[in-house]
Amino acid sequence: MTEHTHSVAIVGGGVGGLALALHLHQRGVDCDVFEAVAEVRELGVGITLLPHAMRELAVLGLQPALEAAGIENLESAFFNRHGQFIYSELRGRHAGYPVPEIGIHRGKLHKILFDAAVQRLGTERIHTGHRFVGVTQSDAGVSLQFTDPQGHNLPPVSSRVVVAADGVNSAVRRIFYPDEKVVFTGINTWRGVTRFAPILSGKTYMRIGSIETGKMVIYPIVDQIDEQGRQLVNWMAEIRREGLTQNDWNRAGRVEDVLPLFKDWKFDWLDVPELIANAESILEYPMVDKDPIPQWTFGRVTLLGDAAHPMYPRGSNGSAQALVDARTLADELAATAPGEDPLQALHRYEAVRRPLTSKVVLTNRSTPPDFINIKVDELTQGQPFRHIDDVISQAELRKISDDYKKIAGFSLEALKP
């Protein structure tokens, strides 16, 4: 088979890679996507599409499909591990943003993006069963090597530039940073989905407790899942422990590993042990990220999304930052004049995005969105309080929330049309 030359080769057909393909297609830039798995299936658990993520997806014409497939969040609410109310705020359109904040099954989000890419770019542009194994560069372009799911070599692919959107364990990034390790600080996580009666408003994103003594993030992702009116409720449990070994990736988690950590969490508004015990599925993950790196672009190859800036899965920011990366890079590539080498577009994209995402990575470590819970735990030594106003004012808590939004890029001012 002969080698085909593409303008842009995207390695990885996840959220960032597919969004980039859709943006490039929208701008008339030729591109192909190469995804390792042979068949794209609806995997994973829940994800929250924050306003800056929804803005990017709305520009791609995907907002109606996403709203239909998920649940629009009304509010975000914070509680201590005794179930006592700390703080709440309206979210998305309810808070004056031009777009909603949506809780959705990650697999459904991926499928909506994948189906749109196949429909708009054509099946011949979306190549599944292509596992990246190597790249060679010349003055004229790049040659990519792939294997099929059985490990056989596929014909090489030529391209002007390559975008690595192949996730936190990026094989492309490993070429340039071969000795790099993920950063694990003793926090493990379990994620589950459970059929459950609506909690609070039925549209509430909840953070309960903090990582030192156990933390739960809970929100609904599918409404009216059965005739009893239950929802599919997504939950994520986290705890930091000294000497803890790192959880495997995407391994099936066990109820008996999670349940003892939260066995006493029975509140008048939620029975957490019941939520965990009745999970349809549980996955376990380590809470890891990587230190910000000094360079994303190596000749004709650049990094995007988790391949560029793996961050703690806190505040739903990984996917949002990947979506902003995709639009920024598409704009720079589209601004390349006919006949001009697209090489400089990669450097312009990196100059914009690398400093901003590095700051988000470090903020997710130091003062994540649940810093509100951490702060209250510190002030109360983890003990129950009479009323939150005795501990800290609502104005101070709102400032913590607003400061995070500014750094992450979704303050109300930043997203006003």
What CATH number is given to the structural domain containing 387? 3.30.9.30
Tell me the residue type at 297.
T
Domains held by the chain: number: 2
The answer to the question of residue 159 being in a domain is: yes
> How much is the pLDDT for 2?
33
pLDDT band at 59 (very low <50, low <70, confident <90, very high): very high
Q: Among candidates 119, 143, 117, which has minimal Cα distance to 24? A: 117
Residue 168 vs residue 363, higher pLDDT: 168
Stretch 299-308: mean pLDDT = 94
Q: Among candidates 299, 82, 344, which has minimal Cα distance to 172? A: 299
Is 286 strand, coil or helix? strand
Q: What angle do CA 135, 303, 319 make, to 5 degrees?
A: 135
The answer to the question of residue 118 being in a domain is: yes
Pair type for strands 157-164 and 301-303: parallel
Same-domain check for residues 194 and 219: yes
> How much is the pLDDT for 5?
46
Give the contacts of 80 (CB within 8 A, at least 6 positions apart): 86, 208, 209, 373, 376, 377, 380, 382, 384, 385
> How much is the pLDDT for 357?
84
The answer to the question of residue 90 being in a domain is: no
d(CA 75, CA 87): 10
Q: Give the lowest-confidence range in 149-153, 229-233, 285-289, 329-333.
A: 285-289
How do residues 64-110 score in pLDDT, each as one tens digit?
Answer: 999 999 999 999 999 999 999 999 999 999 999 999 999 998 889 99
The CATH number that applies at residue 315 is 3.50.50.60
Same-domain check for residues 116 and 144: yes
Two structure tokens written together for 81: 């591990």
The answer to the question of residue 80 being in a domain is: no
Same-domain check for residues 136 and 61: yes
Stretch 360-383: mean pLDDT = 80
> How much is the pLDDT for 247?
59
pLDDT band at 246 (very low <50, low <70, confident <90, very high): low
The answer to the question of residue 89 being in a domain is: no
Share of the chain above pLDDT 90, in %: 60
Same-domain check for residues 398 and 298: no
- Has residue 367 got a pLDDT over 80? no
- Has residue 393 got a pLDDT over 90? yes
Q: DSSP string covering 63-118, please? A: HHHHHHHSEE--EEEEE-TT--EEEEEE-GGGGT-SS--EEEEHHHHHHHHHHHHH
Same-domain check for residues 138 and 241: no
Same-domain check for residues 355 and 299: yes
pLDDT band at 404 (very low <50, low <70, confident <90, very high): confident
Stretch 122-129: mean pLDDT = 94
How do residues 153-208 score in pLDDT, each as one tens digit?
Answer: 999 999 999 999 998 889 999 999 998 877 777 778 888 999 999 999 999 999 99
The answer to the question of residue 150 being in a domain is: yes
- Has residue 3 got a pLDDT over 50? no
> How much is the pLDDT for 313?
65
Same-domain check for residues 10 and 152: yes
Same-domain check for residues 17 and 117: yes
Q: Which domain holds residue 147?
A: 5-70+98-181+291-366
> How much is the pLDDT for 248?
60
Q: Which of 366, 381, 406 is the last residue of a domain?
A: 366
> How much is the pLDDT for 331?
95
Same-domain check for residues 375 and 390: yes
pLDDT band at 38 (very low <50, low <70, confident <90, very high): confident
- 296: number of CA atoms within 13 Å, CB side? 32
The answer to the question of residue 77 being in a domain is: no
Tell me the residue type at 44.
G
How do residues 208-244 score in pLDDT, each as one tens digit?
Answer: 998 888 899 999 998 888 899 999 999 999 887 765 6
- Has residue 390 got a pLDDT over 80? yes
- Has residue 6 got a pLDDT over 60? no
> How much is the pLDDT for 292?
83
- H/E segment holding residue 45: none
> How much is the pLDDT for 32?
96
Same-domain check for residues 145 and 269: no
- Has residue 312 got a pLDDT over 90? no
Same-domain check for residues 39 and 111: yes
Write the Ramachandran bin of 315: left for phi over 0, alpha for psi from -120 to 50, otherwise beta. Answer: left
Tell me the residue type at 103.
G
Same-domain check for residues 380 and 358: no
The answer to the question of residue 143 being in a domain is: yes
